[in-house]
Amino acid sequence: MATKRFLNTRETLVTEALDGLVRLSGGRLARLDGYPHIKVVVRAQLDAAKVAIVSGGGSGHEPAHAGFVGEGMLSAAVCGEVFASPSVDAVLAAILAVTHEPGCLLIVKNYTGDRLNFGLAAERARALGKRVELVLVADDVALPDAARPRGVAGTLFVHKIAGYLAERGAALDEIAAAARAAASAIGSLGVSLEGCTIPGAPPTERLAADEGELGLGIHGEPGVEKIALQSVRSLVALMTTRLLAALPRERAHGRFALLVNDLGAVPPIEMSVIAHELLGSALAEHVDLVVGPAPLMTSLDMNGFSLSLLELDALRRAALLAPCGVAAWPGAHEPRALELRPLPSLAQDRRAPASADARREALLLALIDRAIAIAPELDALDARVGDGDTGSTLARGAQALRARLASLPFADAPALLRAIADVIGESMGGSSGVLLAIGCTACAVALTGGSNWATSLQAGADAMAGHGGAALGDRTLLDALVPALALACSGADWHAVARAARAGANATAGLPLARAGRSAYLRSDALLGTPDPGAVAIAALFEAAAAHLRNSSDG
Amino acid sequence: MATKRFLNTRETLVTEALDGLVRLSGGRLARLDGYPHIKVVVRAQLDAAKVAIVSGGGSGHEPAHAGFVGEGMLSAAVCGEVFASPSVDAVLAAILAVTHEPGCLLIVKNYTGDRLNFGLAAERARALGKRVELVLVADDVALPDAARPRGVAGTLFVHKIAGYLAERGAALDEIAAAARAAASAIGSLGVSLEGCTIPGAPPTERLAADEGELGLGIHGEPGVEKIALQSVRSLVALMTTRLLAALPRERAHGRFALLVNDLGAVPPIEMSVIAHELLGSALAEHVDLVVGPAPLMTSLDMNGFSLSLLELDALRRAALLAPCGVAAWPGAHEPRALELRPLPSLAQDRRAPASADARREALLLALIDRAIAIAPELDALDARVGDGDTGSTLARGAQALRARLASLPFADAPALLRAIADVIGESMGGSSGVLLAIGCTACAVALTGGSNWATSLQAGADAMAGHGGAALGDRTLLDALVPALALACSGADWHAVARAARAGANATAGLPLARAGRSAYLRSDALLGTPDPGAVAIAALFEAAAAHLRNSSDG
């Protein structure tokens, strides 16, 4: 039960949230100067030639209702305290603030407090000469025989349709009729795994660890039914069945819009899974448009979601698809078949056929032999400063290379390096294999670009440093590699290069702190006196190469 | 700890979520046909003349990264399993799928797995002749001395800036330079009250009920510091101090964009409170633009948020303000001073001055006397079917009217009814006061419109029925009122009308089921034999009126 919340005080929760919203609306929103009693958010720019659309109710349902004030949706939102209807005066203030000659439509969720307070405000506004109509939304189908179904997230459909018509300059009677017709064509059902945390109230504990509840409202009241914790697939199947069963028979062949509403604390990845299951459910064949998934009509931090169906006609379809100036409205989209793109061929850089080059093959074999031979020594060093597997990891790569010798393109140096990168990347595993593959691949690119071996090897070392995030002095193989290749690039012979590598490796024993690589998380004094095993491996391989090159040029 | 989640299986979580996203993108997105190993979402329409922008990493951060694929942001997102880097092959597939002649920029968060896998993929793509640049984002300031700060939500700034430049046709080098410069000008800090639930892993329990943690990453790892549970105001002050302290001194006078990121399960109302506190914090004077609050880079269901600061220059400002075709990007807004609108005068309908009309005053007094006299009888009836206060509530309204008699505008009938509505609405309290006020107000509107008393009273009854949601036969005062007023409208005298009211009231005793009003929640058989107290009150008042009118016409 998530009871730790981000609040200042219960008393200031709503006013602070509204002010945050208004101040970050980019000038789109204003509010009436009536705090704390009258909490009304209005459009900053109102068109006196258009019908005003006003909604509201208790707070705790954000972005409803203030988040839906804007071009093409609401003209004003009247906000009560958390889960409490706003006062008659607050509703009347909202009506008077935004209503001009064309009149005003109030959109009210069917809860007694809202009905009465919005109702009296409507009558008072009429007594003041304002043209006011009121539409009630009672979309909850949780209790099929309820005399007064609750108004829940399906209310958003009515906001959008009324807002669309008002923006187009329709008359009040037309808008009210369309809104009432739409309200009568909506069914909604919610589910939750955990109740919401009402500030100042004790946490609700009515659900066991393996329970959820179905058919709940948006004020923390219990659902009509406890259900077992289950997969989203089976949950969606259950809800789909209930929603379809609640449709009047004459609607069974209609086309629908489906609104998928996060009740407050379901993270986006799970809402997408829910959407995915809906698209594969029995509901999908009835659905032409989907709104969301998104938080639209929340219930504080409730870990749940709701589904709302609206039967479509041409007007409702156009209204839902119309763009509007409200960031919280996620748009309506036609569900599509999955757009698949063919996978690019990843093998195109491995395709070089096997080819022969005896000198290169012999050099590679010499390096393989040395890598395998020094594995125990490297593991022993690594046991002092890391997890003791530097040698065996390197040997695994070497053995894999030996097993694949016959397939390697020795005659094509860049292709050979890319092939080696693939083999060691796959066989060594972990970050060291990827790092060596990076080095080999970058070296191949440089060779292809016309660089000589020394410069190309240095390009490989640079890539390893860049992608690995280590620098000289960080107790990594770079401490052997970098000085050796600097010498190689200046034209030194391979023996001098190997000596530089060894000197660099030895010097790591005196480096105090590992800032990168395997020893980064050890205390500095545990390292002193032990050279870095990666640097030692590099030194050994340069020595093997130098010895082999001397022998083969001797021979 | 919220451990009940909406999932099917851990193994299919990411692929299902991505398919849900792609299918509801309105044709904007596609994905590579490489499931389950290669999970890459791409723009359905790509412009081969523009640089491709590719990002990605482990999943569980939605809407990052697939949710940011679209015009003006990413060309492709490479998605790993939850909190696990995607493979080299997956990254390479993404690069190859979207990269044309102008090249590709990889935007990588600084985690070892991502660095290496994106790095090797970049090298392999280069080996295939692709122009590829890579920018690392390492924006976390939780550990000021960290050699390798983590990449967190500030990455979104880099996505937007690079996407903006690419959309405008900038060259790869220019985009990479701008992205790197931006990445080096970002600082981010996160806070959480509860850790996230990693599917298949045991819940983390490291925080006590009065603890939060500061300086956390986005993979469920512990924060650098436990902190006391505290108000948003003090939390924001703490984070603001840390963020400002982490700025290099030369940036202390810069202008900044602030990104406010929901880490997964903070409901919108609390994110707005957080935004409100930020606008009143020491940070505010440094901030020109705010992105969010919104879920941008989440950490599954983490109950926390993060703040990211980006130092602005002209390019970054333009890039953040530019519209883009990505629904999950909330836009950047200049924080504004609160736009306040004056409260409309609500007293304008109460302003009628006191005036005299002896007949009306005498009638009202007769009704007041009767209401007070029958209070005990009504309470007794109500005790059987409701909460036992019908009579005393009505008497409270009557007494308030008697106390205000001298101020009432008796000479102006509609004004008188509005004034009565105000007095009983305020004094009676609860739904019955509001309902009677609705009736009086609607009656006043009808009188103003020229209707006679009977028709006007019927308009009042209609309004009470409409706003109260009850119909004839629902065991409410309408069961007395409706037949009485039907008779009145047909021209019957007030005695006949009163008899009809009484007959209607008596008949409620035989009605089985209350569908609305105070008895709606009782068992039907508990009601039989007891008339509805509201209907009895109406009958008594009509009788009092009839008697008074006879007496006064006699006199």
pLDDT at A333 over 60: yes
Query: What is residue A513's predicted lDDT score, i.e. its pLDDT?
Result: 63
* Assigned token pair, B520: 């709606």
Task: Give the confidence band of A136 by pLDDT, cuts at 50, 70, 90.
Answer: very high
Mean per-residue pLDDT over chain A, rounded? 92
Cβ–Cβ under 8 Å, residues A109 and A151: yes
- Give this prediction's pTM: 0.92
Q: Could you tell me how many helices (H) and strands (E) chain A has, helices first?
A: 17, 14
Considering only residues A203 and A404, tell me which one the structure prediction assigns the higher pLDDT.
A404
Is beta strand B76-82 parallel, antiparallel or unpaired with respect to B132-137? unpaired
Tell me how close the Cα of B293 comes to any Cα of chain A, in angstroms.
9
User: Would you call B468 and A437 a contact, using CB atoms and an 8 Å cutoff?
Assistant: no
| pLDDT per position as a tens digit, A479-527 | 999 999 999 999 999 999 999 999 999 999 988 765 555 455 555 566 7
Helix axes A533-554, A494-507, angle to 10 degrees: 160
Cβ–Cβ under 8 Å, residues B460 and B439: yes
User: Would you call B342 and A32 a contact, using CB atoms and an 8 Å cutoff?
Assistant: yes
Task: Give the confidence band of A409 by pLDDT, cuts at 50, 70, 90.
Answer: very high
What is the signed CA dihedral for A239, A245, A251, A257, rounded to 10 degrees? 0
Cα–Cα distances in Å, from A372 out to A395, A400, A424, A427, A538? 5, 11, 14, 14, 13
> Looking at the complex, does the CB of residue B88 fall below 8 Å from at least one CB of chain A?
yes
pLDDT at A364 over 70: yes
Closest CA to B319 of B24, B53, B42: B53
Nearest-angstrom CA–CA distance, B146 and B246: 12
| pLDDT per position as a tens digit, A167-207 | 999 999 999 999 999 999 999 999 999 989 888 887 777 88
DSSP alpha helix (H) spans, A404-490: 413-428, 430-448, 453-468, 478-489
Nearest-angstrom CA–CA distance, A240 and A221: 22
Residue A431 has its nearest CB partner, among B2, B116, B274, at B116
Query: What is residue A8's predicted lDDT score, i.e. its pLDDT?
Result: 96
pLDDT at A250 over 90: no
Cβ–Cβ under 8 Å, residues A470 and A516: yes
pLDDT at A105 over 80: yes
Query: What is residue B192's predicted lDDT score, i.e. its pLDDT?
Result: 96
Residue B335 has its nearest CB partner, among A24, A38, A271, at A24
Query: What is residue A180's predicted lDDT score, i.e. its pLDDT?
Result: 98
Which residues of chain A make contact with B307, given a CB cutoff of 8 A? none
Tell me how close the Cα of A370 comes to any Cα of chain B, in angstroms.
26
- The number of C-alpha atoms within 13 Å of A260 and in the hemisphere containing its C-beta is 32
Q: What HEC string does A105-123 produce?
A: EEEEECCHHHHHHHHHHHH
pLDDT at A462 over 70: yes
Which DSSP helix (H) or strand (E) runs through B376?
A: helix B375-385
User: Would you call B467 and A119 a contact, using CB atoms and an 8 Å cutoff?
Assistant: yes
Instruction: Check A61, A159, A219, A286 and give the catalytic one.
Output: A219
Is beta strand B340-341 parallel, antiparallel or unpaired with respect to B303-311? unpaired
* Residues of B belonging to the active site: 219
Return the residue of A nearest to B149 by Cα.
A469
> Looking at the complex, does the CB of residue B443 fall below 8 Å from at least one CB of chain A?
no
- Which residues contact residue B515 at a Cβ distance below 8 angstroms, ignoring those fewer than 6 apart? A147, B470, B471, B474, B475
Residue A4 has its nearest CB partner, among B127, B194, B516, at B194
User: Would you call A194 and B4 a contact, using CB atoms and an 8 Å cutoff?
Assistant: yes
Tell me how close the Cα of A17 comes to any Cα of chain B, in angstroms.
4
Q: What is the CA radius of gyration of chain B?
A: 35
Which residues of chain A make contact with B6, given a CB cutoff of 8 A? 193, 232, 235, 266, 270-271, 273-274, 305
Tell me how close the Cα of B553 comes to any Cα of chain A, in angstroms.
31
pLDDT profile of chain B (555 residues), mean per 10: 83 97 97 96 97 97 97 98 94 98 98 94 94 97 83 97 98 98 96 90 82 91 91 97 85 90 96 98 95 97 97 98 95 96 77 90 96 95 86 94 95 94 87 92 95 95 91 91 95 94 95 59 66 95 94 68
Residue B336 has its nearest CB partner, among A23, A92, A434, at A23
Cα angle B22, B27, B28 (rounded to 5 degrees) comes to: 75
User: Would you call B516 and A62 a contact, using CB atoms and an 8 Å cutoff?
Assistant: no
Is beta strand A287-295 parallel, antiparallel or unpaired with respect to A303-311? unpaired
> Looking at the complex, does the CB of residue B205 fall below 8 Å from at least one CB of chain A?
no
> Looking at the complex, does the CB of residue B193 fall below 8 Å from at least one CB of chain A?
yes
Query: What is residue A520's predicted lDDT score, i.e. its pLDDT?
Result: 53
Cβ–Cβ under 8 Å, residues B398 and B365: no
> Looking at the complex, does the CB of residue B44 fall below 8 Å from at least one CB of chain A?
yes
Cβ–Cβ under 8 Å, residues B273 and A13: yes
**ipTM of this complex:** 0.92
Number of Cβ atoms within 10 Å of the Cβ of B229: 14
Query: What is residue A514's predicted lDDT score, i.e. its pLDDT?
Result: 56
Tell me how close the Cα of A550 comes to any Cα of chain B, in angstroms.
31
Query: What is residue B202's predicted lDDT score, i.e. its pLDDT?
Result: 77
Task: Give the confidence band of A247 by pLDDT, cuts at 50, 70, 90.
Answer: confident
